[in-house]
Structure 1
Amino acid sequence: MVSSTFPYPPTRGGTQVRTFNLLKYLSQNHSITLVTQCESDVTNSEIEGLRDCVDNLVVFERPSDGQTSAVILKKIQRLGTFFFTGTPPSVLNRYSIEMQAWIDNFVKSGKCDVITCEHSVNEIYIRPYFQTQVKTIVNIHSSVYGTCLDQLATGTSENQFRDKINLPLLRHYERIYCSKFSHIVVTTVEDKQQLQQFRQSSQIAVIPNGVDLVTFPNRPTDPGGHRIIFIGAMDNLANIDAVYFFSNEVLPEIQNLYPDTTFDIVGSRPEPAILSLGQKPGINVTGRVPSMGEYLHKSTICVVPMRTGFGIKNKTLEAMAAGIPVVGSDRGLEGLAVDGINTPLRALRANQPTEYVAAISQLFEQPELRYQLSTHARQLVETQFTWEIAGQRYEEICL
């Protein structure tokens, strides 16, 4: 397994959650060699904790650009490489020559039967000829082309001019890298449809994310009150956009109706701009917390106001597993049957500020509705979205 992000502990959130839980399941019946990178915030105890989960752990330092002048030069070089070869800077800035050499030698030695890339940024380590020697799998968390296209369409792009130029390059890049893999894994049907546009012949399996039901137990009681929570890594563009949108366009209207309403922003690595939101009335920015489940249990409602980003959201599944009523956007509820004909009501849907205000007010006022959503959502997770279910399906692809 190749993962340029260090997947431990799983409370780090983001791509690490999926990577860790899939390797945890596979390690029960298979010998796993995990090749990964660590950054400055990874501790020795975390490295040893991850080492206990696999047969062989190989850790490389994440490449550094060095001094300021070197940073600028390398950014220019990566941009030039993107235009000439199609490989995005987000992939190149994690590329390690030493890690590449280790993987090349490991495959050449015939010591593995399957090589998986946990997230598409790791595709760069896969040589096209690897397919003739081992089964190659890419576990795509979301389409880079689809994400860029969506951000342009929804107006959530950081730089529209740049992304309009990048869009055809990303389309070409995704089509090319997918051809290196014998099997492709995605999290939603929408992602599968997106990628099939590039390669109709590709074997693409849909394996949704899951939840660890021990880490996220069902809450014993409904605390009531007017406490809203958002969970997720707070250096992620989609999460940052969601929190800004909710804090500025929805929360003030809620607080006009319910003055004691609080909004907890819970997640690791909050950027300075997110930390500054803590100065607004009722907003608490916690950063990384020991137990996300405990924070969820104290909350009345979890909001998932995503305006961009593809795939099933871990944050949505975790809130549902914890028994917290969810109000989410179409993006936040993507891939989940939460409403509609013959579907038990499992979450309330909202996309516009007025829709959020109406849904949240409804839940604040109706404890029986909160109970209904909590019960139905927990049942959905237990029967369809555990990591054991996802692991079993991933193992079938690997065999």
Structure 2
Amino acid sequence: MKILMISTTFPYPPSRGGTQVRTFNFMKYLSQKHAVTLVTQSGEEVGDREIEQLRGCVSELRVFRRPKNSPENRLKLFKKLQRFGRFIQTGIPPSVLSSYSIEMQEAIDAYASDRAHDVVTCEHSVNEIYVRPEWCDRLPTVANIHSSIYGTYRQQVETSTSEKPLRDRVQLPLIRRYERGYCRKFSALVVTTEDDARQFREFGTEARLEIIANGVDFDEFTPRERDPGGYRIVFIGAMDNLPNIDAARFFALEVLPLVQIRYPETTFEIAGARPVPSVLELQNLRGVTVTGTVPAIADYLHQATVCVVPMRTGYGIKNKTLQAMAAGTPVVASDRGLEGLKVDGSEVPLRALRANQVNEYVYAVGRLFEDRRLREQLSRQGRKMVEREYNWEILGRRYEQLLLELVESRP
């Protein structure tokens, strides 16, 4: 099978973020048996060494420079295109247009027209812009969506966690129209959880819909050798991501002070790249540390008493939750943080503690601070679950099977 894979996110190293992790691991698995042509973009953060290492993972690699999006260029774009007006006119969000490259489009068009590939995959929904609607008639096309943009925006509006509430409320119908519209171009849609799948079913899509979760790199996230005890809480994730920013601020400002009343030694580490000013300012609070980029997230998980995942918005399975469980760190998380995971209930062993309200977080964290046996249970059961169900080998095989079935059913 010859696969044309499109990813505007440069998927190497896979430790840079959730999109890179998913794209790289599917690419790595498929490349073992199939010829993968990867078309991607690079920015200033990508060096020649990363490009050469990625080149060794695929049959063919085409790298295009990411379009510059400096403040000056954005201002010119606003004036020239009247950004919001263009959104209304074209139905394409500015976040999608900002990474669009004409040169990359021409290359992808050439690959599609030479009929040398059996299937096209878009690794993240932002890449849908490069797929022509007419391809679906002769070439299987797959959108590996990761999570619903509309679902996430709707959550932020409903929970009053939007960065710009009025703007998001006005744009919400446009985003729904956009997401529903691009689905029609694809033979199959891949999402990570049933919640996400339900969102796309509401659109009435005729495309095949598959749920394939994220996985964990077990070489990187090894189980910790001992329980460190203490009163150390950690939250991990990219700190320029709005749902992560909201989660970090919610916990630091509303939950942590109440935990510290009972456990004065409690600390809260926010470990993740690119912290924005609203995250950095949390360091002014007692016991809070913002690390920025760290050499190994697993080290922070191993040293923590508890990992919290206090997400209030964001569709899709959360890598941070899977990584904490793989590292053997007890997890306290919201319904959003545990989306797609069976961690509690009468039919499964307890694998994490669930909390959504402030008092629930305070109670759950306190339980884990005081009960070593409970920490050991969550550590052991969480690791077992991710080993059995969230292995990239298993998930890659499911992705491969989907592509093979689409190719075999092609007229």
TM-score range, shorter chain: over 0.9
Partner secondary structure for residue 293 of structure 1:
helix
1:243 match: 248
- Deviation track 1:309-335 (CA, whole Å, cap 9, x = no partner) reads 011100000000110000000100111
Contact 2:180 2:205 in 1 (8 A): no
Partner secondary structure for residue 324 of structure 1:
coil
CA apart distance, 1:13: 1.4
1:369 aligns to 2:374 (yes or no): yes
1:75 aligns to 2:78 (yes or no): yes
Measure the CA separation in 2 of the matches of 1:275 and 1:57: 37
1:295 match: 300
1:22 match: 26
Q: Structure 2 regions of 5+ residues with no counterpart?
A: 405-411
1:142 aligns to 2:147 (yes or no): yes
2:330 match: 325
Identity %, equivalent residues:
58
Partner of residue 354 from structure 1, selected from 347, 351, 359:
359
CA apart distance, 1:200: 4.4
One-letter code aligned to 1:60: F
Partner of residue 165 from structure 2, selected from 160, 165, 168:
160
CA apart distance, 1:67: 6.3
Partner of residue 63 from structure 2, selected from 59, 62, 66:
59
2:409 match: none
Q: Between Structure 1 and Structure 2, how many residues are aligned?
A: 398
Partner secondary structure for residue 10 of structure 1:
coil
1:7 match: 11
Write the mapping of 1:59-138 to structure 2, written as runs, cut at 5 A: 59-65=63-69, 68=72, 70-75=73-78, 77=81, 78-138=83-143
1:382 match: 387
Measure the CA separation in 2 of the matches of 1:335 and 1:234: 23
Taking structure 2 as the reference length, the TM-score comes to 0.94
Measure the CA separation in 2 of the matches of 1:319 and 1:65: 34
- Deviation track 1:68-96 (CA, whole Å, cap 9, x = no partner) reads 2x422313523222111211111011111
One-letter code aligned to 1:82: F
Contact 1:65 1:74 in 2 (8 A): no
1:314 match: 319
Measure the CA separation in 2 of the matches of 1:74 and 1:377: 48
2:43 match: 39
CA apart distance, 1:44: 2.0
Taking structure 1 as the reference length, the TM-score comes to 0.97
Measure the CA separation in 2 of the matches of 1:394 and 1:81: 35
1:394 aligns to 2:399 (yes or no): yes
- Deviation track 1:170-192 (CA, whole Å, cap 9, x = no partner) reads 11111110000001100011111
CA apart distance, 1:66: 5.2
- Deviation track 1:358-392 (CA, whole Å, cap 9, x = no partner) reads 00010000000000111111111011111111101
Contact 1:138 1:181 in 2 (8 A): yes
Which stretch has the larger CA shift, 5-14 or 300-309? 5-14
- Deviation track 1:101-137 (CA, whole Å, cap 9, x = no partner) reads 1100111112211110011000000001111332100
